[in-house]
Amino acid sequence: MKNKKRLIVANWKMNPQTTDEAKKIFSSIKKGIGITKNSEVCICPPYPFIYPLYKLKFPKNLFLGAQNVSSYEKGAFTGDVSISMLNDLGVKYVIVGHSERRANGESNEIIKKKIEIAFLNNIIPILCIGEKERDHDASYLDFIRSQIKECLNGIEKKYLLGMIVAYEPVWAIGKSYKESMNPTDIHEMTLIIKKIGGELFGKDIGDSFKILYGGSVEIENAPSILEYGNIDGFLVGHASLDPVQFARIIKNADVKR
Ligand code: PGA
Nearest Cα neighbor of 96 from 78, 76, 112 is 112
Active site (annotated) includes residue 116? no
3 falls in which pLDDT band (50, 70, 90)? Answer: low
18 falls in which pLDDT band (50, 70, 90)? Answer: very high
| Residue whose CA lies nearest to ligand 1 atom number 2 | 237
Per-residue pLDDT tens over the stretch 132-152? 999 888 899 999 999 999 999
107 falls in which pLDDT band (50, 70, 90)? Answer: very high
Residue range 17-42: mean pLDDT, rounded: 96
CA 12–ligand 1 middle distance (angstroms) = 9
Question: Ligand 1 pocket test: which of 235, 241, 242 has the largest number of ligand atoms within 8 Å of its C-beta?
Answer: 235
**CB within 8 A of 35, min separation 6: which ones?**
59, 61
Distances 171 to 6, 98, 100, 158 between C-alpha atoms, Å: 24, 13, 12, 33
Determine if the pTM surpasses 0.85.
yes
| Residue whose CA lies nearest to ligand 1 atom number 7 | 237
Q: Which long-range contacts (CB under 8 A, 24 or more apart) does 105-111 make?
A: 108/146, 108/147, 108/150, 108/151, 109/150, 110/71, 111/151
CA 152–ligand 1 middle distance (angstroms) = 23
Q: Which of 100, 116, 131, 168 is catalytic?
A: 168
Task: Say yes or no: CB of residue 44 within 6 Å of ligand 1.
Answer: no
